[in-house]
Amino acid sequence: MELTMSSRDTPHPLDAHAVADGLGAVDRPTVSFELFPPRNPDAAPRLWATVQELAAARPDFVSVTYGASGSTRTTTRQLVRRLLRETSLTPIAHLTCVAASADDLARTVEEFLDEGVRSFLALRGDPPADGSWAPHPEGLPTASALVALLRDVERRRCASSPAQAVRAATRPLSVAVAAFPRGNAGSGSSREQDVAALLAKQQAGADFAITQVFYDVADYCELVALARDAGVTIPVVPGIIPTTDPARLRRVAQLTGVPVPQRVLDVLDAFDADEPADVARRHRAGTRMGVDLVNGVLDGGAPGVHLYTFNTHGPALDLLDGAGLGGDAPRAHSRVTPAAPDLLTVPTT
């Protein structure tokens, strides 16, 4: 039985905030979410209910993942298409270099563009389970090469069609890339090497970056400082996972190689997962830790926050509400008042 931690039980209509007051205000941090296409068709209604809830937060965009080796290519396109046709949300389609030739990737880009997609997240892609990674013999070796391919496809389309050139002028192609606050465990690279790769992505035509998950404000701020010193000027959006479910955090650590700080696990593990009241308190304690992280990166100059939702709306929206970034938030970011004294109190038995 799933415990609902939020009071959001009634889905909001998707067009409730089609015109979002203050969305374009310069002092409003960006808010965005990551979704993944459901592996099981039976999960599609639940995902769409989540989309309805997340839409009420007036996100600047939502990104849609692209499974390892392109395994969710069809379902990713289906979800992106539905977001475009049935909502006012701006989808960013993930695209990876894994297991595809350059020609295959170009065709996939054309397919997305034909659907009306104007934003992409260009990724090298995750390594297989054995940790190895090798580009397709006729593929692309790096995310920067994928960025260059996206730009090349767009140039060719504009050159071949004056109508497309006009559409591109009114809705420019946007390309996001990944950044790694602690180095990329998937490739075994250091933070300095990833900063050099980020600069190459910028030079290839990237517009902004979204970071991999992290848990310490210093990790984000140090990454941005190193990037700026290296000549990176594009915005770097911090990618943040709600710190409410210790099992999920451990799973993410296995997938990404980013360890969860013991201080975070100590707080979450102290609650009894079989007691509903304790689970609710754990959720509040985890949300408070997430709020502190969001406030810290925004104070450090972050342009906004990108939340990894795992197709669940409650923890993400509670985190935004706590940080003063919810759907009814004022134009400027404002901190919440300090937590109640018992919010982070953990059981002693």
Closest residue by Cα to residue 176 from 62, 67, 259 = 62
- CA angle in degrees (0–180, nearest 5) for 200-296-315: 95
Closest residue by Cα to residue 222 from 198, 193, 191, 243 = 191
Residues assigned a catalytic role: 34
238 within 8 A of 290, measured Cβ to Cβ: no
220 within 8 A of 297, measured Cβ to Cβ: yes
The CA distance from 142 to 135, in Å, is: 8
Conformation bin of residue 324: beta by default, left when phi > 0, alpha when psi is -120 to 50 = left
Q: Write out the two tokens for 195.
A: 């900063």
Q: Looking at the DSSP assignment, which residues form a beta bridge with residue 236?
A: 209
Closest residue by Cα to residue 240 from 329, 310, 332 = 310
Residue that is written with structure tokens 């993400």 in the block: 316
